[in-house]
Structure 1
Amino acid sequence: MTMRLLLAAVLLGYCLAVPTNKHASSKDREHQQPDLSNQQHYNPEREHNPEFDHEAFLGEEQAREFDQLTPAESRRRLGMIADKIDTNKDGVITKDELKAWIAHTAKRYVLEDVDRQWPNLDIDGDGYVTWDEYRNRTYGYMSDTDQLNEIYDTHRRLSYQDMINRDERRFKVADYDRNEKMTKDEFGDFLHPEDVTHMKDIVVEETMEDMDKDHDGYITVDEYINDLWPESERKENPEEPSWVQSEKDQFREYRDKDKDGKLNKEELAKWIIPQDYDHIEAEAAHLLYEADTNKDKQLDKEEILEHHDVFVGSQATNYGDYLYKHDEF
């Protein structure tokens, strides 16, 4: 689903926060949960992406570090992680224990993201970030109208001024106590709104803006496909991919509930943030299915190590301090 969120802060590098165009680079909006991974879980052909599982299991930063270890060291550390997941120390990992670990990883990702950006945003060091602080640090280098009118996202035709307006609107929603400044918790909601109840409407609204090219308040099947298969890709390869027809069928049969040929906001919400879909439950079930060799609906350490590639990848995987940096679980 939803978002990618962290896009490059053009010209300013890591010292600044970034515009929150969360969905701008995502082709997999359905069940979008970027807190688990910035990777697509499935490509447009519905082929599974194992990198999603690695980031969901380890976190984005740790997954990258894992890729630098030798296979032997990677397996050794995976075994240590398995011991940590087995919280009651009975020698097996249940789906609930696996879900708790994935939820912990997702929460850690949000906290680390906030901690990384916070010192550069809380300019006066008072423990809050105001809108002026965020705007000045993110867009302050733009000094004239021409710069603000430059296109930030060519596919969705969003200018920097559009992004400022969008960020200010999201800021106001994330500011839950309406005191015109954000705490660290509120800033986490601002950056990662998908799992926050009071932020879900803004996720739907931003997605509608991204896809609704004629601004009539609805998404047609052509707008839907254009979001998944943008013009830039069509120019490179004009032959229609096989998955496009399948997506059109999905739109007509499952997305368009009232069969009027377009999606309204309610239908869009049911698609990108379905109420009956638990992404952590789904990921835990997927990992369990892939690694449960004896089909006893739980995992032992040997099964996890046997299916090393499912959890952390099969490549040589400087992850060395992961277990020591994150002992709080």
Structure 2
Amino acid sequence: MSKLILFSVIALLLLHMQNVVCRGIPMLDKMKMKEDVVNMQQPIPLDKLQPQDHLDAVKMEQDGMINKDFHKEAFLGNHEEIEDDAPDIAESKLKDIFYKVDTDSDGELSESEMEAWIMDKIQEHFDHAMEENKEIFKHLDPQNKGYVDWKEYYKHFLLAKGHPVEKAEKHIVDYDQIDLTDIERDQLVRYKFRWSEADQPPADNRLTELEFFAFRHPEQSNITMQNMLNTLFNSLDTNEDKLLTEKEFVALPPGEVEDDEQKKMDQDWQEDRKKEFREVIDKDHDGVATIKELTEYLDPRNPQQAKSEALNLIQMMDDNKNGRISLQEVMKHKDVFITSKIVDVKRNLHDEF
């Protein structure tokens, strides 16, 4: 009799546990959904949410302008803020970078050391961007739908700007709850254009994680690289033969020359482009740039980029012409990296992609 009672108690306990588990699953789901809703309402810092305003480690901007800041960006890696430091601190950081690049500790930077450093910095930049994109996308898509639609992004943009959740949710429906500033409206127009560029066919106004990566980091996306190539050829290839001659590449943008100073600036600009075309882009020196040559030139992941950039940096700083860079030569030419005087005293920001 006691065994029967014991079995009955065990059976009742098992049945109770099963009911608890069955009831617990929906409860956990509800808790997860509630957590997701809360997560959606938490603002992401604006600098993480908005797409990058320039192409890191890309030699040319979308309008065909040469990106001279590339020399500094490729060499400094994550030390771009060095130009905002006081001169003594900036020099100290630059020396620190020198000793890190000088892996054999012989007091000079060889071409191979600089090439390896540049490749490492570019890869570091890419890896960080990919990981950051994954975290931000997860925040925007807490329910794992596999996509983020424009209104979801719009809502988070408003939250990042400090607008209340209730108003943000209403605004994306009737667009009349929040009085946006002109700057905010301009940002949203530009971001929507970028969003549409990243939204691959069939366009649905939703971005997958890969498309969202293209939206935030066009410099690392095959999607936007192809768009950039198309734009370059559409604007520069006047005879539409899918080849760029040196003449087409260095042609001045439309507009009248106003004075001698402007004329001198235009001449310098053309000379820079001729040098870039002859020494870097036109690999076979046949006088024309093919789509393949331009793709290799633009793609920062191409190892040839690091090699050509290392050679370029040596040419700029190797005063004694021994094919290597000493610390003294780096410090003598520190303006190349710290103040970018090869372009201007002010920092030369890239065009929006």
**What's the % identity of the aligned pairs?**
18
Residue 103 (structure 2) pairs with residue 78 (structure 1): no
Cα-to-partner distance string for 1:58-91 (whole Å, 9 max, x where unaligned): 13x62233431233x3323322211110123333
Residue identity in the other structure for 1:89? S
1:168 is the counterpart of 2:185: no
Matching residue of 2:49: 17
Query: 1:192-207 alignment to 2 at 5 Å?
Result: 192=217, 200-205=225-230
Alpha-carbon distance in 2 for matches of 1:296, 1:171: 56
Match of 2:86 among 69, 88, 94: 69
CA distance, structure 1, for counterparts of residue 202 and residue 326 of structure 2: 44
Q: How many Å separate the matches in 2 of 1:301 and 1:206?
A: 41
Quote the offset at 1:246 in angstroms. 5.7
TM-superposed CA distance for 1:95, in Å, is 0.8
Structure 1, gaps ≥5 residues long: 1-11, 23-33, 173-179, 255-265, 316-329
Q: CA RMSD in A?
A: 5.6
What is the CA–CA distance in structure 1 between the aligned matches of 2:201 and 2:101, rounded to whole Å? Answer: 35
Q: Are the counterparts in 1 of residues 82 and 93 from structure 2 also a CA contact under 8 Å?
A: no
Of Structure 1 and Structure 2, the greater helix share is in: 2
Partners of 2:197 and 2:309 lie apart in 1 by 31
Q: Is 1:36 equivalent to 2:53 in the alignment?
A: no
- Provide the secondary structure at the position in 2 that maps to 1:122: helix
1:287 counterpart = 2:313: yes
1:304/1:311 contact within 8 Å kept = no
Aligned to 1:257: none
Give the whole-Å Cα distance in 2 for the aligned partners of 1:314 and 1:159: 28
Q: Distance in 1 between matches of 2:174 and 2:241?
A: 31
Pick aligned residue for 1:56 from 46, 66, 74: 74
Deviations 1:243-268 (A, max 9, x none): 49969x98xx99xxxxxxxxxxx977
Measure how far apart 1:132 and its partner are.
1.8
Alpha carbons 2:242, 2:291 under 8 Å: kept:
no
Relative distance call for 1:289 and 1:129 in structure 2 (3 A) is farther
The 5-angstrom pairing of residues 209-248 of structure 1 reads 211=235, 229=253, 234=255, 242=263, 243=266
CA contact under 8 A between 1:21 and 1:163: conserved in structure 2? no
* Aligned pairs for 1:181-200 within 5 A: 181-182=208-209, 191-192=216-217, 200=225
SS of alignment partner, residue 273 of structure 1: helix
Match of 2:328 in 1: 302
In 2: Cα distance, 1:290 partner to 1:131 partner: 46
Count of aligned pairs? 247
Cα 1:104–1:170 shift into 2, 3 Å: farther
SS at match of 2:46: helix
Normalising by structure 2, we get a TM-score of 0.48
* 1:254-303 alpha-carbon deviations (Å, 9 max, x no partner): 9xxxxxxxxxxx97735742469933222211211122122111123333
**DSSP-derived class of the 1:123 partner:** helix
Q: Which of structures 1 and 2 has the bigger CA Rg?
A: 2
Are 1:102 and 2:118 an aligned pair? yes
Q: Distance in 1 between matches of 2:327 and 2:99?
A: 8
Aligned AA for 1:310?
V
State the shift of 1:161 in Å: 5.8
